[in-house]
Each structure stands twice: as structure tokens, then as C-alpha cells.
Amino acid sequence: MVHTLDAVETLPAPTVVAGGWVGRTLASINYAIVLLSSIALVIASFVLTYSVASRYFLHFSTDWQDELSVFLIVGAVFMSSASIQERRGHVAIEAIVGLLPARVNHVRQIMVDSASFVFCAFFAWKSWLLLAEAWTENFHSDSTWAPPLWIPYSLMTVGMTLLSLQLLMQIVLALAPRRRPE
């Protein structure tokens, strides 16, 4: 039997996607991103392995592998943050959750999600500004390889925007009147 390793895994996967077509679209995007990000992690591992192998077996060193790995991993992290939020996998202190009545806890959750949304949306907005600046000013990293910085910045921007949308959807769903069984 394989046991789960982290808290995120212990949460049930959302079997029915709430939020209508918006929710379904976000869930599909998150699924595709998790798939691509997983592949990015494996590619980063191979890139770094190639770096060692080329240096010791082929006797030449390259200058792009560290930076490419950084792009792949930072991109994977930011892009998949919405998917983690979908399962509420961003770890929090839940010491008071069990002490509060259900209604108060519901209000607390909405307030916490709203504060998280405001921060993430602000960060996403600032990321868009940074991306625009990097694109128009043609920013490059200061390494010898010097790749354009709009690449990692765009991954950060899209990732934080998706995270903000995910949070917004969770707030809207929490505020929507609950259906009672007839």
C-alpha cells in the first residue's frame, strides 16, 4: 500500500467541479498546468544531470543549464500555485478553526480568502507591470547566456493571475446562497 506523503494529498480531490463553466475552465487549465509543470521538473533534473555529464565525460562546460533549470522550476512553482489553492493545499495555521462555530468559521474563511485575494491580485498586477517593462525595455539576465527575462516573468505573472482568479472563485462560491435539499 502506498501512503501519501504530504498534507495536500490528504485532501480529497474535487470530484464535482463547482462554479459552473468558469470553475470547469479553471479546473481544466489547472490540470493541464500541473501536467506541464511536472514535465518541467523532470526536464530540469535532466538538464542538471547533462551539465555534470558534459563536464566530466565530454570535457566541455555550458553556461545555460543553471538558468534554464531556474526558469523551469520557478515557472512550475508559480504556474501550479492555483492548482494547489484549488485543493486548499497552501499550508496555514488552523489552531482556531476547530474552536469556532460553523457560521463564524464560514465568515472567517471568506475574510481570509478575501485578504489572500487582495494580496495575490496586487502581486499579479505588479507582475504584469514588471512583464511589460521587461518586454518593452528588452531586459536580459546578466549571465553570459543572457536569456530574455520576459520568459520567467510571464510565467510568474500568469501563475499569480490564475491564483487570484482561483481565490476569487472560491470567495464567490462561499458567498453564493447555499442550495438546500428539497
Which of these ranges, 17-25, 41-49, 172-180, lies near another protein under the rule CB under 8 A? 41-49
| Binding-site member from 16, 21, 56, 179 for another protein (CB under 8 A) | 56
With binding defined as CB under 8 A, does residue 77 bind another protein?
A: yes
User: Cell numbers 478553526 correspond to what residue?
Assistant: 97
With binding defined as CB under 8 A, does residue 150 bind another protein?
A: no
The residues, any chain, with a CB within 8 Å of residue 43's CB and separated by 6 or more, are 72
Beta bridge partners of 148: 140
Nearest one of 54, 21, 30, 55 to 158, comparing CA atoms = 30
With binding defined as CB under 8 A, does residue 9 bind another protein?
A: yes
Closer of 2 and 16 to another protein (Cβ): 2
C-alpha cell at 55: 563536464
Which of these ranges, 14-22, 43-51, 171-179, lies near another protein under the rule CB under 8 A? 43-51
| Least distance CB 97 / another protein (angstroms) | 6
d(C-alpha 107, C-alpha 51), whole Å: 52
C-alpha cell at 115: 485578504
The residues, any chain, with a CB within 8 Å of residue 39's CB and separated by 6 or more, are none
Question: Position 150: which residue type?
Answer: W
With binding defined as CB under 8 A, does residue 57 bind another protein?
A: no
| Least distance CB 148 / another protein (angstroms) | 14
| Binding-site member from 17, 22, 74, 172 for another protein (CB under 8 A) | 74
Closer of 24 and 90 to another protein (Cβ): 90
